[in-house]
Amino acid sequence: MAQAQGLDVTPANKITPEKIREGIDVEINGRAFRHTGDPEMPLLWYLRDVLRLTGTKFSGEHGLGGADLVLVNNKLVAAVTVAVKTLQGKKVTTVEGLAAPDGKLHPLQQAFVDEDAIGCGYCTPGWLMASVDLLNRHPQPNDNDIDQLPNLCRCGCQTRVRRAIKRAAMAIAGGKA
Ligand code: FES
């Protein structure tokens, strides 16, 4: 029928089936997932479009604004720059994985709330992930350490973000978190 309509149809015996893709096993926020889709898919879109973990935001095609930062095996990376095929056996942490299982906020999340360091919120997940990484490297960061984070905020929250990161650092050091 398709030929009768002038469409070019490949006969069934001429079709080469696509090779069955192997699954890519990755742990995200402590849960195991197997990706069987396009192995070239950037992690950002796997998180947002497949898993519906929409906390991580698009931050330009190279991730330069910092809103798509996540941790892969505890290393800070821009999710848009990482293809899922590179994640076999790795552990990813996104902003959704920061709070405790009982819902208690991570000290950084709590400090961002307490310092009102959130404007529209678009940049906030990236700040939080970059700050987790920063406090892992510098438990008591100074202004210069914080200012070197790659994150941008169009709402002008940088000063309050600074205060929030220092507040979280103190809370963690004081065992209040
Ligand atoms: S809070 Fe709006 S971009 Fe940072």
Query: Is residue 77 scored above 50 in pLDDT?
Result: yes
Beta carbons of 51 and 28 less than 8 angstroms apart: yes
According to CATH, the superfamily of the domain at 107-173 is [2Fe-2S]-binding domain (1.10.150.120)
Q: 122 CB under 6 A from ligand 1? A: yes
Other Cβ atoms within 10 Å of 77 Cβ, number: 19
**Residue 19 exposure: Cα atoms within 13 Å on the Cβ side:** 5
Distance between Cα 129 and ligand 1 center (Å): 15
| Multiple choice CATH, 24-95, 3.30.450.40, 3.30.70.100, 3.10.20.30, 1.10.357.10 | 3.10.20.30
Residue 66 vs residue 12, higher pLDDT: 66
Whole-number Å distance between alpha carbons of 39 and 43: 10
Query: Is residue 1 scored above 70 in pLDDT?
Result: no
Residues of the chain with CATH 1.10.150.120: 107-173
Candidate of 123, 128, 129, 149 to mutate for ligand 1, largest count of ligand atoms within 8 Å of Cβ: 123
Query: Is residue 8 scored above 90 in pLDDT?
Result: no
Beta carbons of 149 and 87 less than 8 angstroms apart: no
Beta carbons of 78 and 94 less than 8 angstroms apart: no
Q: 37 CB under 6 A from ligand 1? A: no
pTM of the model: 0.87
Residues of the chain with CATH 3.10.20.30: 24-95
Task: Say what the pLDDT of residue 17 is.
Answer: 80
Could you tell me the two tokens for 115? 């310092």
Would you state the torsion angle of the CA atoms of residues 112, 115, 120, 124, taken in this order, to the nearest 10 degrees?
A: -20
pLDDT tens digits, one per residue of 79-109: 999 999 999 999 999 999 999 999 999 999 9
Q: 53 CB under 6 A from ligand 1? A: no
pLDDT tens digits, one per residue of 100-133: 999 999 999 999 999 999 999 999 999 999 999 9
Backbone angles phi, psi at 60, to 5 degrees: 90, 160
Query: Is residue 18 scored above 60 in pLDDT?
Result: yes
Distance between Cα 69 and ligand 1 center (Å): 15
Angle at 66 between CA 61 and CA 68, to 5 degrees: 65
Signed CA dihedral, 150, 129, 113, 55: sign only = positive
Whole-number Å distance between alpha carbons of 124 and 68: 10
Distance between Cα 124 and ligand 1 center (Å): 7
